[in-house]
Structure formats: C-alpha cells, structure tokens
Structure 1
Amino acid sequence: MTVVRSVLLFLLAALAEIGGAWLVWQGWREHRGLWWVAAGVIALGCYGFVATFQPDPNFGRLLAAYGGVFVAGSLLWGVVVDGFRPDRYDVVGAAICLVGVAVIMYAPRAG
C-alpha cells in the first residue's frame, strides 16, 4: 500500500507542477492573461505541499526521484494537451528516468 500511495502522490505532484508551469506558460507566453499565471502559481504552490505527504522522509531522495516522474509526465502532458509527438529517443529517455525513479524510491534498503 505504501508504494501505491507513493506512486499516486508522484502523479498528483506531476499534475500540479506540470499543469502549473503550463498555466504560467499559457498566461505569459501565449498572452492569455495574468489570471492564467496566477492559477499556475497556485498550482505550483500545491505541488510543493504534495511531496510532504510522501512516506519517505528524505527530501533529496524524493526530489531526485520526482525529477524522473517530471520528465515522463512532461512528455505525456505534451502529447495529451499540446499534440506533441515524442520520438523514440524521448520515449526511451523517459523510460530510463522511470526506471531510475523505481530504483531510487523502491529498492530495498537496510535499516
């Protein structure tokens, strides 16, 4: 159950951070307005809190692992929201990152 909870928290964090960054991008770069930017800032703030619910107490480990989730999630966001078509190197790179997440977060540790 702990692994399932952790994975769900990583997915929620990805949604908040990637979605927040996308909202800021849309508000500023695509000229949709400051309300979009404000919504993005709020979503990014929510991302900061999500990590605190992870069962692992090590901030550095969590943030390092989340980096891999962010890579894969960003590509997926681009596919779903922006019509981005990743090439095989994008897919292989994202898969490598997710393997790294699994090793960092879920490998058995002594103690």
Structure 2
Amino acid sequence: MTVVKSILVFILAGLCEIGGGYLVWQWMKEGKPLWYGLVGSIILAAYGVVATFQPAGFGRIYATYGGFFIVMALLWAWKVDGFRPDRYDIIGALIALVGVCIIYYAPRN
C-alpha cells in the first residue's frame, strides 16, 4: 500500500470516528433528534471497518491513527465548532503526527 493511500485511509477513518461521534454528541448533549444518534452510531461502526483497510497489525495502526485523530479533531473543532487552536495545540498536534508517522512509515527489516 502506498503512503498516500494509507494516509487517505487514516483520514477516512478519522472522518468516520469524529463525524459519527459528533452526531452522537449532538443527539445526547444538544437535544438533536434520535436519528442523529442512530446515523452517528452507524458511522462509528464504519470507522472500525475502515481501519481494517490498513495492512499493518492492529496495535501499530491504532497507535498511528491516534496522531491523525489529534490533528483531525482540532481541525474539526476549528471548522465546525468555531474553536480556535492556539500555537500549543498546533505544536502538540504536529509532534504527535510526526511521532506516529515514524512508528508507521519507518522502514523495517
């Protein structure tokens, strides 16, 4: 699997987890209709399936996904909720992303 393809899978998984979680949050915390929670739950289940499209083992994939999730959660909060990340949010997210890319993409024997 190419690096670009695997990054796209991580991004798709992130969208499923964050988007699904957001819909459940809206239903539970913001009083949105039940269908928000149902659709959100289906999307969250899709996240579990999407993650299996990566070729590595479970532990390495989920560790790596964590860094992508951090970046994507901050971007989602910024664009959807109006949260404005500060420089420490950005620095921390970049450190996490670099770290997980080393974990996942470093050449191994």
Tell me the TM-score range normalised by the shorter chain: over 0.9
Q: Unpaired segments of 5 or more residues in structure 2?
A: none
Q: Distance in 2 between matches of 1:2 and 1:53?
A: 12
Q: Post-superposition shift, 1:18?
A: 0.4
Q: Post-superposition shift, 1:55?
A: 2.1
Which residue matches 1:38?
38
The number of residues matched between the two structures is 109
TM-score by length of 2: 0.96
Q: Post-superposition shift, 1:103?
A: 0.4
Q: Post-superposition shift, 1:101?
A: 1.7
TM-score by length of 1: 0.95
Q: Which runs of 4+ in 1 moved over 4 A?
A: none
Q: Unpaired segments of 5 or more residues in structure 1?
A: none
Equivalent pairs: percent with the same residue? Answer: 60
Q: Give yes or no for contact 1:2–1:55 (8 Å, CA) kept in 2.
A: no
- Write out per-residue CA displacement over residues 31-81 of structure 1, whole angstroms, 9 at most, x where no aligned residue: 00211011110010000000111122x100000110111111000000111
Q: Secondary structure at the match of 1:29?
A: helix
